[in-house]
Amino acid sequence: MTTTNRSSYIGANKIYVGLVLLLWDVCFALQGGSSLIINTKWKLSLDVGLQPGTWMPKRYPGWAESGARLGLDVAVEFTETPFTSSEPLVGEKESTFQLKVCSTESVFVSERGQQSVTFLDGGWCIQRPTNDVRNAGGTLVKPEGLLKFWLDCPTGAKKKDVEIRPNTRIFFTTGVWDSPETAKIQDDKYREVLSDLQKIVDQTKEERNQQDGKNFLEEILSFRKMTGDAKEYDRLKSLKESLERQLPPTGAAVSSNDVKIAPKGSLVIKGKETWLPGSEYLILGTFSVSVNAKVM
C-alpha cells in the first residue's frame, strides 16, 4: 500500500514564512500514561541543515549557506515518569512524561576531526489530532497521534556553517500509531475500499464493451447504472483518500509491540524574541526513526 502522502510528518504546527506557530484547536493531549509507546526504545537520527521555508539564515546570517548537513544519532526511551516541567509546543505538564536518553554521547566527524555531542533527558507528549495537519512534505494527513518531545543539547555541535548552539533545546514532532487494533481496522477497511473501487472499474469497462448491439431502452438502463456507479466510485475514492491520510506511512518504524512511528519528522528550535505574541520556532532540519539500533 504505497501512497504519496504517507511519508513524513511535521505535526500540528502551521508553517508561515518559516515560523512554526501552534494550532491549539487541531488536537488534544494524551491524558495519563496509557500509550503503548511507554518503555519502548528508539534511535533518532537528526539531519540538521537548510529546509524549505526556514528562517534560520535570517535569524543567524550565514547559517548553513554552504549546503552542509550535520548528522547526529541519539537513543531514547519513552518512560511513564511524569516530567518536572513542560513546553507549550509539546503539551501541558500533566500530560508530559520523561524522555530518557539511553546513549552516552553522539559522535560525528567535522573539518576539525571527530566531535562528541551530549544530549540530556527531555519530555514527551502525544496529542490526538481532531483535524488534518500538514506533514513535513506539506501534505494534509491525520495520524493517530502527534508525538512531540524535546531534548537539550548542552555541548552544541558545529560542522562548517551548520551549528546547533550550546544549551539549545531541540523540539521533535512526528506521527505515531500506538493502537495496533485501530491501525488494523483501518488497514482492513482500506483494502476493502480498494477492492470495491477495482470492481467498479472492471464493471464499467465491461459495460462499455457491451454497448454495441443494445437497443435504446437497454442503453438508457446501462447509462443509469454507470451513473450510479460513478457516484459510488466518487464516494469510495473520497473514503480511500481519507483512510490514506490516517494510515501509517510506508517505511514507518515498528516496535516489538507494534507501535509505529512515521519514518521522518521535523526539528525546530526557539528563535529570538520578536514582537509576535508567543514563541518563535525556527525549522532546524528533520529526523528519522528506527528501532533497536545500536548507537555508538
Please state whether the predicted TM-score (pTM) of the whole model is above 0.75: yes
Backbone angles phi and psi of 234, in degrees to 5:
-65, -40
| 1 occurs within a structural domain | no
Residues 290 and 262: their CA atoms lie apart, in Å, by: 10
| 3 occurs within a structural domain | no
| 219 occurs within a structural domain | yes
Residues 270 and 264: their CA atoms lie apart, in Å, by: 20
Mean model confidence pLDDT for the chain: 82
Query: Cα dist. 43→79, 100, 106, 150, 292 in Å?
Result: 15, 12, 11, 14, 7
pLDDT in tens, 147-177: 999 999 999 999 999 999 999 999 999 999 9
Residues 220 and 116 in one domain: no
Total structural domains within the chain: 2
Residues 175 and 191 in one domain: no
Residues 131 and 48 in one domain: yes
Residues 149 and 266 in one domain: yes
- Nearest Cα to 267, choosing from 96, 82, 129, 122? 122
Radius of gyration of the chain (CA): 23
Domain ranges, residue 237: 183-242
- Give residue 122's identity as a one-letter amino acid code: G
pLDDT in tens, 175-229: 999 999 988 998 999 999 999 888 888 877 776 666 555 544 444 445 455 557 7
Residues 280 and 195 in one domain: no
| Half-sphere exposure (Cβ direction) of 242: Cα atoms closer than 13 Å | 10
| 113 occurs within a structural domain | yes
